[in-house]
Amino acid sequence: MAVSAAHASHVPTVQFDAALIRKLSQQGPRYTSYPTADRFTDQFGVGDYLQAVNSVRAMGARNPLSLYIHIPFCDKLCYYCACNKIITKNRSKAETYLTYLKREIEMQGKLFAEMNQVEQLHFGGGTPTYLNDAQMADLLAHLRKWFRFATDDAGEYSIEIDPRTVSPERVHTLRAQGFNRISFGVQDFDPDVQKAVNRIQPEEQTLGVMQAARDAGFRSISIDLIYGLPKQNLITMGQTLNKVVAANPDRISIYNYAHMPALFKSQRRIAEEDLPSGETKLDMLSLCIKRLTDAGYVYIGMDHFAKPDDDLAIAQRQGRLHRNFQGYSTHAEAEMVSCGVSAISAVGSSYSQNEKTLEAYYESIEQGELPIARGIKLSVDDLLRRIIIQMLMCNFELSIKSLEMAYPITFAHYFATELEKLRALEQDGLLKIDSEWLTVTPKGRLLIRNICMVFDRYLNSPREAKLERLKYSKTI
């Protein structure tokens, strides 16, 4: 669905309105998928996934693939972390895991034979660099055996890095092994904050590894930060932002720390009295937005900022931006094949998730089956709502006419209930509605999740409307 030239040509802007955020911030999904992962069921199994792959093949398999590889291991526990990870210093566990992971990759490779052109690869975790050079080289060779990879200049091959686990030499090796994008977990440069979350990471170490990535010729360098951590305040946040801007990464992600100790056991080690107040968190977010936009970064959406010449910013201007389980992406049409414990695939009109424990994951592969535990087949209504949420999350606007051309609906009739809710948000200044476009205002961009929640049929069913939202983080 194309974005009009007039709508796409402007540089995206964002406006911080504290009163509006206080009024409207609520718990809700992040929409890395629609339907969201909590809607997956165990009634979806391997047979359903095979059917989805066959459907893609039957339609001509026009799209390239995006591969995600999950490495769950970490050396140390970071208290804030809500990822699916395994803390261990027993390196033999990684050897065992790789044996099974390679078997899963082979199964997927055979399934996608002759439609296995990969244009995007992402290693996440855990800590992907928990693997040593030899293990990484062996795993990448195995991937290349079963999938065809686009050339270095055409493909995006990224890896998440804990700067504490790599040397400058290792960074050069990763580039030589084929990675051309790199993402660093920083969170905060302040020593007291680092101590409070059990992640001691000297500034010099992080900056040294970043410089090595630049010297090695990585196409894009990204930094992850978190606001709302224990011991953080406006002064420490400002100092961290100054250091990040000076380091000059291509992309910056600034996540809101969601303190949910009932769900994530490690967060119980964080002293609640050390957490900044809600007001201080808002002030920190305001500071982040001002500091980064003043430094020339473009607000992409949600938590992401990028330089104007970065692929993400270009894709957004051209209406090609996409959102998936890794966040924002430039490969909107790619089928997403994910390997590893807990990994989620998006193939055809389906989502599927692997087993979440090593034992169950290994057992499925021992039986010669893909380790799929649950998933969902998307209905026509799901697909329609997914494209709406994608367009709003990525481009901050929706062409009603384009949608009506793609689907046999009259927007005003099909979404009459949703339009009533949107009118209330329009009154609050979050968006503008006319007969042809829904356009999110600069004020509304920070609250984009609120707008998307209006279109979430699962969230808005009467039975679930109140209780279901308690498991989500706050929209701001």
> Which residues carry a binding-site annotation for [4Fe-4S] cluster?
74, 78, 81
**Residues 158, 184 contacting (CB under 8 angstroms):** no
Binding-site residues for S-adenosyl-L-methionine, in ranges, read: 68, 80-82, 125-127, 160, 187, 199, 224, 258, 344
List the Cα angle 222/225/229 in 5-degree steps. 170
β-pairing, 117-125 with 156-161?
Answer: parallel
Q: Which long-range contacts (CB under 8 A, 24 or more apart) does 423-432 make?
A: 425/450, 425/451, 425/454, 428/20, 428/23, 428/24, 429/17, 429/20, 430/20, 430/24
Instruction: Decide if 336 contacts 68 (C-beta within 8 A).
Output: yes
Binding-site residue positions: 68, 74, 78, 80-82, 125-127, 160, 187, 199, 224, 258, 344
Q: Is 182 exposed, middle or buried (0-12, 13-18, 19+ CB in 10 A)?
A: buried
* First and final C-alpha spacing in the chain: 29
